[in-house]
Structure 1
């Protein structure tokens, strides 16, 4: 009995839950009704697409707009919504509707799923999540539908507006524009660009941060977590925009032909979308190598904890930078906003970063073997995009070998559930050491 109880601890339940949803989605996409040709996808392609949607990545081996029927597209959209908010969040919604009481175990699972610091107020947060999601996605749908209505029939415009609002708020990056174009036709359109940017940012900062901002009018305070997320996100977006503008300004395949406002808008968009969204208004293979490498770094950092995005997270990145700065200044403590960060958090940030880096390196190494003749930067870009659940690609995804597709599937899954959660789910139950060893010193640097 004890072994069974240990087997179904929160990390294992989260991993198994996401895996189950992916398999159900893959089965539905193999049905003849899911594709335009009436044959359904092969199981491997269906598994890849289902994993990409559930893990809110956006990497695609077939074009979403031209391959799938409305049924197939709605399956993908449902997987995006469930994957973005988390299956435990949806389970709680059904419990609300059935009038069921949320047990302590379910609250602990929600805490793990949302990456919250405590279970206090977790049920109230879940209710807020659905309200925030509904309001943001409805507003986004209306704005995008209004703009798309100038280019297509009103019914199609509304459908496209809803699909792209949900996809981008959940940081998925799936689109219906056809021919892998993403949002490139709207590169200089301020309404589409700024609406999608806002959806990506709101989905990427995390529901905990969103909730604190909503309650600020009453509490007049923000937690250190929210402050770190907002400041780090702002710095990353601003610096990314400036660097992309500088790197691409003279590139006649990207920014050079655009107006001044178009250059700024597209640079802003390409700085925000690596935060695990995956949509793009510039053709990724046409970008210069410095921009490609910058996007790889931004994809690896990703979004913020408790959000719809992936990556090592903004707070992890900020904590590591804080630790480095403290060491340079000869101080023991990492301090943000006059608050000392506990060593446990610093060690966890280091573990998450090294685990993510190790995964990207290993997958990149294997892909250089399976995808012979492909450019190394293209392969590294693909592996990082999969880990960060971003969905941007330099064109490698549709050309991946069967083994390459399996490797990317595993990487997307690990990136969504988190390397640590996956490791905890696989490992035996952790036990504290019964004693401590004497201190030892080694030379560093």
Structure 2
């Protein structure tokens, strides 16, 4: 037992692995309580584990309709799991430590560094304060805006309840909703107000707290310049949203089962919303399963890219995608260096981007193969589900509710890796790297 505890606490990645696992298991046990369901029935452990993992990993794939199946107690358990999973349990733990005026140790700073995906431990405690402040501020504003809209459809108390739940869920890119009958936000597909509020929360949550801090602080700096990281995140995010909107709009323009029967403005709004939500949002205003296969495959690509580092979203991240594109362009132009915004990237950054991408492709491939073995469904639907789980997106073509127990366990595994990060999991499970005593002689191999 001591060896197991020592192994888990030996490095920050292992501590994160253990922390997320404990939170998910506690959440699963709470959701198993009869008080957690509206009818008082006790759900199976695998189903509870699936729901707890989906909430903690801010994914949004659900086996039961959240609004009607779970009680208020169940809703609050899910909401707390979303908040802890979205911001990060180490960030929450640091907040309580700061409230209690306890000093943050070096080991805790190293774990925070891993959790927030930072390059150094400098300024981490200050960053944690900003993370908490920005998250609570944006969630509060979102809750207020949602409550104002919901108040026209339901009593004020219920509108506030729905406003708080949806604001936290959507800002954390979790995708859980209380709409009922698995409708998500389809009732508001033509509601410009609801679309703008929801897209704003998804985008801001997907930017990452480092970018949010940069956006807030730049006007007060002397240089008034964004960091390279912020420039890359903003430009790639904007580019992918515009590209996604265009592709979905063109491919679905004449599809009467999705947006084809709507007016031009409604089609454009629905296309924009779907482009935004595929980046890890998880809520929808149209039925994804009715999209054309070309559109569904393109959404898979967007889900695989995902949100940005240090955010509540998943995927390989926008910065990784930018580095890969930069490397390809550099190779095509015969350049040795990858340059973004007139700044050269270190080769180790390029290697890491390639490594992360290959890891992610491998994990999604293995997950898809496992699901194709255990589930009876079309291959594209299986690939969509696996990518959505790994990218912690939460969109589904209808396969989630029909999963077998092995299929549920596969999706749980994909959601967990997607939230924790493939490299973090590798560092956690792998042996401690030893000291390099020599280098091999250089060899040559033909590429292409």
TM-score range with shorter-chain normalisation? over 0.9
SS of aligned partner of 1:277: coil
- Report what 1:359 is aligned to: 363
1:55 correspondence with 2:52? no
- Following superposition of structure 1 onto structure 2, how do residues 8-407 of structure 1 map, counting pairs within 5 Å? 8-219=10-221, 220-372=224-376, 374-407=377-410
TM-score (norm 2): 0.97
C-alpha deviations, 1:113-155, integer Å up to 9, x for none? 0011221111111111111111111111111111111111221
Whether contact under 8 Å (2:389, 2:418) holds in the other structure is yes
Distance in 1, Cα, partners of 2:149 & 2:39: 30
Distance in 1, Cα, partners of 2:261 & 2:7: 62
Distance in 2, Cα, partners of 1:207 & 1:259: 37
Q: Deviation of residue 260 (structure 1)?
A: 2.2
Distance in 2, Cα, partners of 1:185 & 1:257: 16
Q: Deviation of residue 416 (structure 1)?
A: 0.3
Distance in 2, Cα, partners of 1:81 & 1:172: 9
Q: Deviation of residue 426 (structure 1)?
A: 0.5
1:418 correspondence with 2:421? yes
Whether contact under 8 Å (2:8, 2:14) holds in the other structure is no
Whether contact under 8 Å (2:184, 2:285) holds in the other structure is yes
C-alpha deviations, 1:415-435, integer Å up to 9, x for none? 000000001100010224211
C-alpha deviations, 1:7-27, integer Å up to 9, x for none? 520000001100000000000
Whether contact under 8 Å (1:149, 1:157) holds in the other structure is yes
C-alpha deviations, 1:332-362, integer Å up to 9, x for none? 1000111111111111111110011001111
SS of aligned partner of 2:438: coil
Q: Deviation of residue 47 (structure 1)?
A: 0.1
C-alpha deviations, 1:58-94, integer Å up to 9, x for none? 0001110111000001000000000000000000011
- Higher mean C-alpha deviation, range 140-149 or range 195-204: 140-149
Q: Deviation of residue 6 (structure 1)?
A: 8.1
Distance in 1, Cα, partners of 2:259 & 2:436: 57
Q: Deviation of residue 256 (structure 1)?
A: 1.8
Query: What do you get for the CA RMSD once the two structures are aligned?
Result: 1.3
Length, aligned pairs only: 444
Distance in 2, Cα, partners of 1:130 & 1:178: 30
Unmatched segments (≥5 aa) in structure 2: none
From the superposition, tell whether residues 2 and 367 of structure 1 become closer, same or farther in structure 2 (CA, over 3 Å): closer
Large movers: runs of 4+ above 3 Å: 1-7
Q: Deviation of residue 102 (structure 1)?
A: 1.2
Whether contact under 8 Å (1:188, 1:258) holds in the other structure is no
From the superposition, tell whether residues 146 and 335 of structure 1 become closer, same or farther in structure 2 (CA, over 3 Å): same
Distance in 2, Cα, partners of 1:80 & 1:236: 26
- Higher mean C-alpha deviation, range 61-70 or range 216-225: 216-225
Whether contact under 8 Å (1:312, 1:356) holds in the other structure is yes
Whether contact under 8 Å (2:59, 2:282) holds in the other structure is yes
Whether contact under 8 Å (1:6, 1:429) holds in the other structure is no
Distance in 2, Cα, partners of 1:282 & 1:223: 37
Distance in 2, Cα, partners of 1:383 & 1:317: 20
Q: Deviation of residue 5 (structure 1)?
A: 7.3
Unmatched segments (≥5 aa) in structure 1: none
Distance in 2, Cα, partners of 1:327 & 1:129: 38
SS of aligned partner of 2:339: strand
